[in-house]
């Protein structure tokens, strides 16, 4: 079964198309990397699929149902730079935001929610930082707080926007661990990624995107030099150096 099906998605910024008629589907339980050059619309694709930005046209289905009926199944890790880390609150509070649907309107987080949130912090190696003011965390630690918040949601499908951007080795390890755990639990994960050298290690599926989808499918058959050439245009000499798939 397909976890996500996007059909005919077009997004326009200031008359410039950011995405043109993008259609693809992601099988349930897959770990998919969204790959493409800068400005290819990778982050835009995630935001458009989650209806966080206005789209010109296109539909999104989640497990063959319209997206709007399935929102509760979706977890999201935005780019770290999209929020103000000077906001007056601590790490635990941010993670508790992930429990919003479970806590519900008008109610406050109870002990069970707090325990849950702490467990999520522990899973990303941040148990010692629960009460730490978020502005006093390093970039990698902030990213892990976002991971813990996504974990706290206990979603079936996770969207992650450049989670590896500017993080330390420990955080990178925590992210990989988390993605593998999610895969083992049968969850579907879609990750915007730009480091071509790690694509084959991290992802079993790849969506190659440059405003339009170039190809989408299992990494072995899609992550080829031909396809990368189509996606990245002329910069292929650089690609051959960094990509193990260069010979295929």
Partner 1 sequence: MNYTLWIILTGCLVGVTCGMSGVLLMLKKMSMIADAISHTVLLGIVGAFFVSQSLNGLPMLIGAAVVGLATAFFVESLHRSGIQSDAAIGVVFTSLFALGVVLISFIGDQVHLDTKHALMGEIAFVPWDTLQIKGESYGPVAVWMLGTVLVLNLILIAVFYKEIKISTFDPQYAKLIGVPVAFVHYLLMGMVSLSTVASFDSVGAILVVAMLIVPGATAYLLTDRFITLLLISGVVGILSAMIGYGAAVYWNVSIAGAMASATGLLFLAAFLFSPKHGWLMKKAKQRRLAANS
- Site residues, partner 1 (CB under 8 A): 14, 47, 50-52, 71-72, 74, 76, 78, 82-84, 87-90, 93-94, 97-98, 100-101, 103, 105-106, 108, 133, 135, 149, 153
**Rg of the chain, C-alpha, whole Å:** 18
CB of 208 closer than 8 Å to CB of 231: yes
Write the DSSP symbol of residue 70. Answer: -
Q: How many helices (H) and strands (E) does the chain have?
A: 10, 10
Cβ closest to partner 1, residue 7 vs residue 90 = 90
Count of other CB atoms within 10 angstroms of residue 104:
8
Distance CA 77, CA 160 (A): 5
**In whole angstroms, how close is the CB of 214 to partner 1 at the nearest point?**
27
DSSP-assigned beta bridge partners for residue 10: 57
Residue with smaller CB distance to partner 1, 107 or 184: 107
Nearer to partner 1, 99 or 118 (CB): 99
Q: What does residue 52 show for φ and ψ, rounded to 5 degrees?
A: -90, -15
Min CB(76)–partner 1 separation in Å? 5
The residues with which 120 forms a beta bridge, in sequence order, are: none
- Terminal CA-CA length for the chain: 29
Nearer to partner 1, 31 or 73 (CB): 73
- Nearest approach in angstroms of CB 62 to partner 1 is 13
Q: Between 132 and 230, whose beta carbon lies closer to partner 1?
A: 132
> How do strand 157-161 and strand 74-77 relate by DSSP bridges?
parallel
Minimum CB–partner distance for residue 169 and partner 1 (Å): 26
Question: Quick one: which H or E segment has residue 209?
Answer: strand 205-210
For partner 1, give the closer residue by CB, 49 or 214: 49
DSSP string over 147-172: HHHHHHHT-SEEEEESTTTT--HHHH
Give the nearest distance from C-beta 218 to partner 1 in angstroms: 28
Of residues 149 and 193, the one with the C-beta less far from partner 1: 149
90 phi and psi, to 5 degrees? -110, 175
Measured over all CA atoms, what is the biggest interatomic distance in the chain, rounded to whole angstroms? 58
């Amino acid at each position: 079964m397909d976890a996500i099906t996007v059909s005919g998605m077009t997004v326009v910024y200031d008359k410039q198309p950011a995405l043109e008629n993008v259609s693809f589907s992601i099988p349930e339980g897959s770990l998919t990397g969204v790959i493409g050059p800068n400005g290819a619309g990778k982050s835009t694709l995630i935001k458009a699929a989650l209806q966080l930005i206005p789209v010109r046209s296109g539909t999104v289905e989640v497990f063959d149902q319209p997206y709007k009926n399935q929102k509760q199944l979706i977890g999201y890790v935005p780019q770290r730079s999209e929020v103000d880390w000077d906001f007056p609150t601590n790490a635990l509070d941010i993670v508790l935001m992930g429990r919003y649907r479970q806590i519900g309107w008008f109610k406050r987080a109870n002990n069970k929610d707090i325990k849950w949130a702490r467990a999520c912090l522990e899973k990303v190696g941040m148990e010692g930082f629960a009460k730490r003011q978020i502005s006093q965390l390093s970039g990698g630690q902030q990213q892990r707080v976002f991971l813990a918040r996504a974990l706290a949601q206990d979603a079936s499908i996770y969207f992650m926007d450049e989670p590896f951007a500017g993080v330390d080795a420990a955080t990178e390890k925590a992210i990989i661990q988390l993605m593998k755990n999610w895969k083992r639990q049968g969850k579907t994960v879609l990750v915007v990624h730009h480091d071509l050298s790690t694509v084959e290690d991290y992802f079993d599926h790849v969506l190659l995107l440059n405003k339009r989808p170039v190809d989408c499918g299992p990494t072995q058959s899609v992550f080829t030099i031909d396809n990368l050439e189509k996606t990245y245009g002329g910069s292929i000499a650089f690609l051959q150096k960094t990509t193990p798939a260069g010979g295929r």
